[in-house]
Amino acid sequence: MSRKVVCCFCKSLQAALQRPSVRQLAGRSFSKPPDIGRQTSFSGRSHTCGELTKTDIGKQVTICGWVQHQRLQQFVVLRDWHGLTQVIIPDEKKPAVPDLALESVIQVTGLVQERPDGQQNTKMPTGEIEVVLKDIQVLNECKPNLPFNIQDFHKVKEALRMEYRYLDLRNKDLQRNLRLRSEMVMKMREFLCNQNGFVDVETPTLFRQTPGGAKEFVVPSRFAGKFYTLPQSPQQFKQLLMVGGIDRYVQIARCYRDEGSKPERQPEFTQVDIEMSFVNQDNVLDLVEHMLVHCWPESKGRLSIPFPRMTYHEAMAKYGVDKPDTRFDMQICDVTDIIRESNLETFRPLLDQPSASIQAVNITGGALHFSNKDISSLQSVVQENSAEKIFKVIKVKEDGSLQSPLVKHLRADDVSRLKATLKPLSGDLILLSGGNQFEPHSVLGRLRLECASLLESKGVEVRKKADFNFLWVVDFPLFLPKEGGGVESAHHPFTAAHPDDAHLLTTHPNQVRSQHYDLVVNGSEIGGGSIRIHNADEQRFVLEKVLQEDCSELSHLLDALESGCPPHGGIALGLDRLMAVVCGTPSIRDVIAFPKSHDGKDPMSKAPAVVSQEELDVYHIQIKDT
């Protein structure tokens, strides 16, 4: 480096090095015995900024934090996560206190005194005291004009917040979410490991491709042409742990899924991964319920267990979706027979099909609150979601009569039957949809949620924010028809058949229900699991005969099943989604410290980034010519 640059630069650097900011914590011994307090043990603080009260008056304290306000060198308000403390600068100390940019980091030593009469702030935990400054150390000055004001983060666009995530993290909501996440996970571990004998085992994330393993990130290896993959879940490993005699396994597991751009997905996410030997479905559901009760934050109310259970079929029939939001009613009703037996012609062609069904849902207050524009918007939801597009709307008038072009074609008896089924009140809105099998249910399931949001946007209370309606959905189908013929696993090929249907596996696999279960809360699926196949013959049959997969890539698992594998089952809870529900945030990005944007990029570090061909050479790969 040139001499000139050195001299020039060094001066300012040496000045910086001589400021207390750099030297001061290094040179002093702050060690305190560890029993002083949880947040301030082993540190240069005697107290946090949130804990001083009248009982501390007269004490000399040392607090550290960020400058939240500074006024005319008269006082400074110091902030850390725990709260705010007002620091008064006596006249003789004013020369020692520089004019500081907001968000500068300082350490203050001073005496706690009562605030003068009339200056108390009863809304602040520290509002009855102030600290009279004796000594101030500027630990690190903040530059002026940060990209946004920490207090205003709610007004800031998410892109900017993500680019400056280290500032965004200072906001109260993110801090609270991350700390709550840490606390809940700790309580889950206590319940599982300390109280119920679970073993926390780490499984590899450099794994190999699994059959049908689409959406798996690949990691090139030094072996030419060979790749690790980042697993979507530790499924195989946790089953192998059961074979290995680790009775009860838990891992807060990092998982990976490459789905390109999806708004509420992250390329890496976390699941609470659980597996147990010698259990049946009830055991796993019980365990999870007790775990959630144990870790549930007090501030969110007490959970009532057992959670209700609903079959997949009932969920689809009543809510049109396998993850129903049961915080509100407005269930779907089957009106196929009523319409079939009416003299309505509109539905005739549909009803000629054997699997035809006509369903209806009564939206409480829909006619009263929805404009014609709102109703059109519902119609466009149908357009997006249904091939058949048979959709009708009936308003319930003030006198209880039904209003719709459809109604004049109905006989009085048909209307009575509809009313008896749907029980509409004046001001309600009946939605009617026709299609095959669960198609009308799906449409009405979507509309049910749309209508709830629409009503809420108009100030009608439909769902209580503070409610947590947990629900188990059980008895899923084991297989689903595959595009192009054949079947595929509804969940994954290791799921065991329902014991009552096991005899149908070889003859009618389509009719077999599984021992899969989903945990749903407020319309969000936050977990899923199953009892697994532990019999090698059954597993081989499902893979080879039913799914027609190549078993060679799973030979180690099949081999393990016949080497003394106990019956076992488990579950994986999506920690990010669970936390989003608990914290009441609309996005999982608000419960993750450093999330990726919707397209999988990190706006802060600019990941992913270019890598030189020289570095790729080690892995025997090159960018593909396009």
**Among 76, 87, 276, 447, interactor with its own copies by CB under 8 A:** 276
Quote the distance between the C-alpha of residue 485 and its chain's center: 35
Judged by beta carbon, residue 35 or residue 92, the one nearer its own copies is: 35
Q: Which of residues 227-256 bind its own copies (CB under 8 A)?
A: 227-230, 236-237, 240-241, 243-248, 252, 254, 256
**Binding residues for its own copies, total number by CB under 8 A:** 174
Cβ 207 to its own copies shortest distance, Å: 5
**Among 57, 96, 206, 480, interactor with its own copies by CB under 8 A:** 206
Helical packing angle, 3-18 and 20-27, nearest 10°: 60
Cβ 552 to its own copies shortest distance, Å: 10
What one-character DSSP code corresponds to residue 335?
A: -
Angle at 91 between CA 87 and CA 92, to 5 degrees: 105
Nearest residue to 490 (alpha-carbon basis) of 475, 477, 503: 477
**Among 93, 134, 208, 419, interactor with its own copies by CB under 8 A:** 208
Tell whether the torsion through CA atoms of 597, 602, 606 and 612 is positive or negative: negative
Cβ 52 to its own copies shortest distance, Å: 16
Site string for its own copies, 2-41 (x = CB under 8 A): ---xx--xx-xxx-xxx--xxx-xxxxxxx--x---xx-x
**Among 200, 329, 341, 550, interactor with its own copies by CB under 8 A:** 200
Cβ 430 to its own copies shortest distance, Å: 42
**Among 441, 463, 491, 498, interactor with its own copies by CB under 8 A:** 498
Judged by beta carbon, residue 425 or residue 611, the one nearer its own copies is: 611
Strand 402-403 to strand 390-396: parallel, antiparallel, or no bridges (unpaired)?
A: antiparallel
Candidates 52-60, 354-362, 391-399, 552-560; binding stretch for its own copies (CB under 8 A): 552-560
Judged by beta carbon, residue 105 or residue 449, the one nearer its own copies is: 105
Cβ 473 to its own copies shortest distance, Å: 18
Round to whole Å and give the CA distance between 320 and 307: 20
Judged by beta carbon, residue 218 or residue 490, the one nearer its own copies is: 218
Ramachandran angles phi, psi of 437, nearest 5°: 50, -125
Q: Which two tokens stand for residue 547?
A: 């799914």
Round to whole Å and give the CA distance between 514 and 495: 7
Judged by beta carbon, residue 141 or residue 450, the one nearer its own copies is: 141
Round to whole Å and give the CA distance between 145 and 46: 31
Ramachandran angles phi, psi of 204, nearest 5°: -65, 150
Site string for its own copies, 466-485 (x = CB under 8 A): --------------------
Told to check if 281 binds its own copies by CB under 8 A, we report: yes
Q: Which of residues 442-461 bind its own copies (CB under 8 A)?
A: none
**Among 224, 387, 412, 420, interactor with its own copies by CB under 8 A:** 224
Tell whether the torsion through CA atoms of 459, 461, 466 and 469 is positive or negative: negative
Round to whole Å and give the CA distance between 287 and 484: 40
Tell me if 607 sits within 8 A of 303, measured CB to CB.
Answer: no
37, burial (CB in 10 Å: exposed 0-12, middle 13-18, buried 19+): middle
Told to check if 165 binds its own copies by CB under 8 A, we report: yes
Round to whole Å and give the CA distance between 213 and 228: 12
393, burial (CB in 10 Å: exposed 0-12, middle 13-18, buried 19+): buried
Cβ 513 to its own copies shortest distance, Å: 12
Told to check if 54 binds its own copies by CB under 8 A, we report: no
Candidates 53-61, 103-111, 385-393, 447-455; binding stretch for its own copies (CB under 8 A): 103-111
Q: Which one-letter amino acid corresponds to residue 144?
A: P
Judged by beta carbon, residue 10 or residue 96, the one nearer its own copies is: 10
Told to check if 204 binds its own copies by CB under 8 A, we report: yes
Judged by beta carbon, residue 205 or residue 436, the one nearer its own copies is: 205
Told to check if 260 binds its own copies by CB under 8 A, we report: yes
Candidates 197-205, 382-390, 417-425, 451-459; binding stretch for its own copies (CB under 8 A): 197-205
Those residues with Cβ within 8 angstroms of residue 505's Cβ, 6 or more apart along the chain or in another chain: 478, 497, 512, 538, 541, 542, 546
Told to check if 42 binds its own copies by CB under 8 A, we report: yes
Q: Radius of gyration over alpha carbons of the chain, in Å? A: 31
Cβ 58 to its own copies shortest distance, Å: 24
Round to whole Å and give the CA distance between 242 and 198: 12
Round to whole Å and give the CA distance between 188 and 367: 46
**Among 121, 149, 151, 182, interactor with its own copies by CB under 8 A:** 182
Told to check if 594 binds its own copies by CB under 8 A, we report: yes
Told to check if 566 binds its own copies by CB under 8 A, we report: yes
Tell whether the torsion through CA atoms of 406, 411, 414 and 416 is positive or negative: positive
